[in-house]
């Protein structure tokens, strides 16, 4: 199992073609954390939606970037993704993200004005 202080930082250009890198990285780290294949698929979809949300309406031709920080904490995998965008996230994009991701992850926090969000996913409990 991972040390609770394990942290992986990934910095990518804020362009759609690099979103896959964050998604695959999250899936690989979820596997390392002991998530099931179903949990990994849910995490992968949530990370993908997070990247789509943060890229929505941003200037993909500029020098903007996304920074994804993966942390292991008490059996949870936490994924924090931030953009250096200057405009707030759109309300309809936020609503879509909430609708798609709420059932997939344990919790999320976001700051629509800063273009920042954090997802938490833990292995499913088996009865």
pLDDT in tens, 31-69: 888 889 999 999 999 999 999 999 886 655 567 889 999
Q: How many domains does the chain have?
A: 1
On whether residue 95 sits in a domain, the answer given is yes
* CA terminus-to-terminus distance, the chain: 21
Which residues form the domain of 70?
7-121
Residue 77 has pLDDT above 70, yes or no: yes
CATH label of the domain that carries residue 108? 3.30.565.10
Pick from 35, 127, 16, 15: nearest CA to 79: 35
On whether residue 126 sits in a domain, the answer given is no
pTM: 0.85
On whether residue 127 sits in a domain, the answer given is no
Residue 2 has pLDDT above 50, yes or no: no
pLDDT of residue 88: 81
- CA separation for the pair 43, 104 (Å, rounded): 7
- CA separation for the pair 51, 35 (Å, rounded): 21
pLDDT of residue 41: 93
pLDDT of residue 49: 92
Pick from 45, 109, 122: nearest CA to 81: 109
Name, in order, each residue with C-beta under 8 angstroms of 74's C-beta and a sequence gap of 6 or more. 4
On whether residue 52 sits in a domain, the answer given is yes
On whether residue 36 sits in a domain, the answer given is yes
Residue 85 has pLDDT above 50, yes or no: yes
Share above pLDDT 70 across residues of the chain, in percent, rounded to a whole number: 89
């Amino acid at each position: 199992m991972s040390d609770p202080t394990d942290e992986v930082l990934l910095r990518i250009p804020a362009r759609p073609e690099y979103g896959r890198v964050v998604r695959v990285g999250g899936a690989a780290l979820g596997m390392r954390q002991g998530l099931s294949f179903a949990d990994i698929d849910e995490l992968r979809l949530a990370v993908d939606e997070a990247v789509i949300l943060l890229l929505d309406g941003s200037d993909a031709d500029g020098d903007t970037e996304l920074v994804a920080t993966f942390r292991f904490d008490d059996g949870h995998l936490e994924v924090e993704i931030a953009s250096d965008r200057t405009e707030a996230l759109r309300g309809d994009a936020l609503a879509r993200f909430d609708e798609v991701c709420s059932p997939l992850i344990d919790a999320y926090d976001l700051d629509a004005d800063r273009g920042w969000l954090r997802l938490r996913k833990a292995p499913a409990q088996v009865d």
